[in-house]
Amino acid sequence: MATHRRLSPLEFAIGSGVLVITVLAAATASYLSIQQPTLIDGRVLVYPAVWSTASVATAVWVSRTVRVRPQRWLGAAVGVGYTVALLWLSGTLGASAGLPMSQLELTLPGWGPILLYDNGLVSLSIVPFKLIAYLSLGYIVAVLVAAAGSARTAALGLGSCVSCAAPLLLAVAGLFGGSQATTMVASAGYDLATVVLLATFGLLVRAAQKTAAPCEISTPKGDAQ
């Protein structure tokens, strides 16, 4: 009689990460073959791969590890609010510019397709790999809050939002150094953001381990027989 071994959370996470990187690599190879764009910096290929793979793999691992979630409604509320805050601070979601529009721009997979949308009330500027990261952070926070009943976990991750500081840095670079300085600042910003994002996921994984760990109840020596 055949028996099926249940995959561990780590195996699920690795499998999800491999799937993401495989799909992204295939899409990128097809795009480069057809469009043949000129790449000034090879790091533009690395950022989407690292952000997307780490985001999905971590979210899957946390989901499979933290199974007991007694306060799901609290987790959902905090997770949604946290995600909206990330989207707002990153510029993905914002106030309307007053000019209704809907535009889809094709570019490197992961960076694109970029969706620009404005309905007169709110605006959206969606870069796929960044959206995946923010949604993953929001989901992980929702799971941990639902499990632990504490919103303290939501304090993690806001620093991983590269676009929160990037506009100001790019503006300063453009004023004093021209386009070359702007490009340098943009690259450095994403390098730093990638490190911070990975560190944030590491902290969330550690929090998930503590949340899922069984409680140890100590008994007085005199009671032990």
Query: Does the residue 18 lie in any domain?
Result: yes
Condensed to tens digits (0 to 9), the pLDDT of residues 125-180 reads: 999 998 999 899 889 989 988 887 666 655 554 444 444 444 334 334 443 444 44
Query: Could you count the other beta carbons within 10 Å of the beta carbon of residue 108?
Result: 20
Which residue intervals of the chain are DSSP H helices? 9-35, 43-65, 72-90, 128-148, 162-212
Query: Does the residue 86 lie in any domain?
Result: yes
Query: Does the residue 179 lie in any domain?
Result: no
Angle, vertex CA 52, rays to CA 159 and CA 179, nearest 5: 65
- Helices 162-212/72-90 angle, 10° precision: 160
Query: Does the residue 105 lie in any domain?
Result: yes
Query: Does the residue 62 lie in any domain?
Result: yes
Q: What domain range includes position 56? A: 9-151+201-209
Condensed to tens digits (0 to 9), the pLDDT of residues 177-207 reads: 444 433 444 455 678 778 878 888 888 888 8
Angle, vertex CA 78, rays to CA 139 and CA 135, nearest 5: 25
Query: Could you count the other beta carbons within 10 Å of the beta carbon of residue 208?
Result: 24
Query: Does the residue 188 lie in any domain?
Result: no
The per-residue pLDDT of the chain, averaged, comes to: 78
139 close to 153: Cβ distance less than 8 angstroms: no
- Structural domain count, the chain: 1
Query: Does the residue 51 lie in any domain?
Result: yes
Query: Does the residue 187 lie in any domain?
Result: no
SS3 label, residue 164: helix
* Predicted TM-score of the model (pTM): 0.79
